[in-house]
Structure 1
Amino acid sequence: MADSLTWMVVEDDHAIRDVINTMCELWDFTVYSFKDGFEAMAFLQKEELENPLPDIALIDIRMPGAWGHEISAAIREHSVLSDIGIILMTAYALPGSDEEDYLRTSGADRLIYKPLPPMDDLRELVYDVLKERQAHT
């Protein structure tokens, strides 16, 4: 697993977004941070994406603009980013069948609930998702 990762964070709650951004900076990770689905979709629709490309996307489900499952599906259809790890986040309780539907229709690898786990645990979850994706490619 690479020592330095690039995260794509899509979260409308500025406090959560700031915490994730700060942790990424402390770990010396690059982070592309978006405050809503509008910004994230605009990034995905660019002709050429800036380097480094994201390795992982951490995406809130409910926010202004495109919702997390829509952004995740757009990533899976993207010519360059289709193989990155995707973790959806929500503060809302979802019945098990809804969780499965979100994961299946969006192509996301995991769904986690807020409050977020401790940052070291979140980083380990990211590494686990990336290892699983590498094993399947």
Structure 2
Amino acid sequence: MRREGVKLLLVEDNPADVFLMETALELSALPVTLEVARDGVEALEQLEAGKAAERFPDLILLDLNMPRLDGFEVLAALREDPALRHLAVVVFTTSSAPDDVKRAYTLQANSYVSKPASLDEFLHLMTLLDAYWFGAASLPRTYQP
């Protein structure tokens, strides 16, 4: 299992969900550097800024319902950009609508996860992230802490 630091980009406009994620990461003691983009436009700006140095997140957790640019639009932009299309994206949203799930996978999301509602559920999610995305899965290493 990979234990060196990984960079996680959380694209989330809800401050309560950002707080829960930050708290869960602190309590889980995962070696994760968390970056937060408050909407889709900010996420694409951060990723664009990382292109020159090839400093990208190892994993993106992407909310769907955001102002300015929603998660579907962000996902489409990532998959259209040759420098960004390799990034692993987990759609991380409150929606469990079958049409949203299908659309996310059609846009080549790597996974679709419903957001936890409590801190305990966020902690469980950190265990799952660590076991699968940061342990079993092979992610492209473009970020060097």
Q: TM-score range by the shorter chain?
A: 0.7 to 0.9
**TM-score if structure 2 supplies the norm length?**
0.73
Structure 2 equivalent of residue 33 of structure 1: 36
- Closer, same or farther in 2 for the Cα pair 1:80/1:18, shift >3 Å? farther
SS across alignment from 1:21: helix
Report the Cα distance in structure 1 between the residues aligned to 2:136 and 2:113, rounded to whole angstroms.
12
Structure 2 equivalent of residue 2 of structure 1: 2
Q: CA RMSD in A?
A: 2.7
**TM-score if structure 1 supplies the norm length?**
0.76
Equivalent of 1:124, from 121, 127, 131?
131
- Closer, same or farther in 2 for the Cα pair 1:49/1:33, shift >3 Å? farther
Structure 1 equivalent of residue 143 of structure 2: none
Report the Cα distance in structure 1 between the residues aligned to 2:50 and 2:61, rounded to whole angstroms.
22
Structure 2 equivalent of residue 13 of structure 1: 14
Same amino acid, percent of matched pairs: 26
**Are 1:85 and 1:130, in contact at CA under 8 Å, matched by a contact in 2?**
no
**Are 2:60 and 2:87, in contact at CA under 8 Å, matched by a contact in 1?**
yes
Report the Cα distance in structure 1 between the residues aligned to 2:30 and 2:78, rounded to whole angstroms.
25
Structure 1 equivalent of residue 114 of structure 2: 113
Instruction: Please report how far the alpha carbon of residue 30 of structure 1 lies from its aligned counterpart in structure 2 after TM superposition.
Output: 1.5
Report the Cα distance in structure 1 between the residues aligned to 2:97 and 2:60, rounded to whole angstroms.
20
- Closer, same or farther in 2 for the Cα pair 1:29/1:128, shift >3 Å? closer
| Higher RCO by CA contacts (8 Å cutoff, separation 6 or greater) | 2
SS across alignment from 2:103: helix
Q: Deviations over 1:8-36 (max 9, x none)?
A: 11011112112323444531211221111
**Are 2:11 and 2:63, in contact at CA under 8 Å, matched by a contact in 1?**
yes
SS across alignment from 2:116: coil
Equivalent of 1:55, from 50, 53, 58?
58
**How many residues matched?**
131
Runs of at least 5 residues in structure 2 that lack an aligned partner in the other structure:
141-145
Structure 1 equivalent of residue 103 of structure 2: 101
**Are 1:87 and 1:108, in contact at CA under 8 Å, matched by a contact in 2?**
yes
